[in-house]
Structure formats: C-alpha cells, structure tokens
Amino acid sequence: MGGSLALSLKKLDFIEKIVGSDHNKQHQEQALELGLVSKIIDFEEVKNYDVIFLAIPVDGVISALYRLTEVDESTTIIDLGSTKSKIVSSIPPSIRKNFIAAHPMTGTENFGPQAAIENLYTDQVVVLCDLEDSGKVQQQVSRKIFKALEMRKYFMGANEHDRHAAFISHMPHAISYSIANTVMKQENKHNILALAAGGFRSMSRLAKSSPNMWEDIFRQNKSNLLEAIELFEGELQMLKKSIKDDEWNEVNKTMNDGYKLHDILD
C-alpha cells in the first residue's frame, strides 16, 4: 500500500518530496532501489513533515500515534488501515484534529516495497471515517490528495465501516485461509493442487496475504468478523443440507440468489 501510494504521489505536482521510514532494513533498501522514496529517515523525523501516511499494520498505527503527539497543529496524519473503530478510539486527544481515518478499498495479496504497482489507487474507493472530527486543514489536505489520486470518496462512521469491511474484506480473507488449510491437510494435497485451476486460485489467492497483518485486523474487528463468519456458516449449512437431501431445486435457487450479486457489482 505504501509503495504504490508513493508511486502515485510522485506524479502530483504539489508534492515536493517523499521520504519513508521502515524498521525492516531489507524494505529500506528495496524502497530506495525502486525509487519509491528519496531517502529513508528514522521514525522520530517523520513528525517534521507536512503529511504523514501510516501504511503499516493496524496495531502499529495505534503505537505510532503515541509517538506523534508532538506534531505541528497543521500536520496531517493519514492512516490507511483496514480497521477504523479501535484506531479512532485510540487517538491521543492532542492530535485528534491532525488525524484522518482513511481506508483505500484496494490492494493486492502481496506486500513489501517490491509489491508496489502503478495506479493502484486510480478509480478506487477510499472510505473516510468520522471526518467531521478532523481539523479543517486536515480535511482539505486529505480531500485534495485523494481527489488528485482520482479516488472515489465515501464518508461514514468508524463503527459502520468496520461492520461493512468485515463482510467484504475480513471474512473473505478468513475463508481464503480456511480453504487453503482444508486442501493442505489432505494426504494427497500435491495431486489435488496439480488440478488447481482458476476457481481455486481465485478463492485461495487472499491466503497469500501477510498473516501478521491480518492477525491484527482480525483482532481489532473481532466482533464484526465473528458475526460475518456465523452468517456465512448459516448460508453454507443451508446449501449443504439441500445437497445432502437431494433438494436440487433449492440448490439451484440458492445459486441463482448468489448470482444476482454481480448485477450490483457489475
């Protein structure tokens, strides 16, 4: 997310300089080699810049905020995390006006500087949460940046965001990991995977995502994720029962109901 963002920000004429900070030495070297940033700085230096993007795991966002309490009142801090409620409730009061809670609804299953791709953010949705609690300057800065990135802005509360994200992002990741584990636990998994075509690859693709990052997301959005999983389990159980009882008309109806999703998405 951070590397792709840097590639897009470099194209904007009002951005003077992009620097980066990362505790991973290999990532530092890769970011410089790929030209994502002009230099690597210590995290303590981050507070000297006008706009700070936190493209890090969601637990790390909370920790980082407590190290940024001395930023100037005009500084804009934008986090790109996949959860919002716990992050927003953890913001130190002294920098609440500085903070923008953003979630770009884009990305890939890959991570690290080498996963950076051009135009990742173009024409994608960015959700801005509780924007009214941010300062006027910070609102203007964030709107300007996301508009320049050609993103479509949606506004909602942090709690509403987390419930929605549980269904369209967090639960699918949980299912993808489970699908992968189901196959990996079979004695003849190599023979099974030799047959893997588009369907399996599409459904298991998300299992390539960083386990450390997604553990944090699952933890922070636990209640919403559990609700989404339980509702999914209910749907799967009904389909399972219809198949078991040879109720093929009901199986067909269930699949037709699901098919209608793409009338909305498309």
**Domain regions of the chain by residue span:** 2-156, 234-266
Residue carrying structure tokens 């369907």: 199
Residue 232 CA to residue 168 CA, distance in Å, equals 12
- Domain 2-156 CATH (choose: 3.40.50.720, 3.90.1010.10, 3.40.50.150, 3.30.365.10): 3.40.50.720
Over 90: is that where the pLDDT of 15 sits? yes
Cα-based distances in Å from 183 to 3, 55, 155, 194, 213: 33, 32, 39, 12, 23
pLDDT per residue as tens digits for the range 36-76: 999 999 999 999 999 999 999 999 999 999 999 999 999 99
Q: How far apart are CA 52 and CA 137, in angstroms?
A: 14
Instruction: Give the mean pLDDT of the chain.
Output: 93
Helical H segments across 70-135, by residue range? 85-89
Cβ contact 19:40 at 8 Å: yes
Mean pLDDT across the stretch 225-232?
A: 98
CB 65 within 8 A of CB 89: no
pTM for this prediction? 0.88
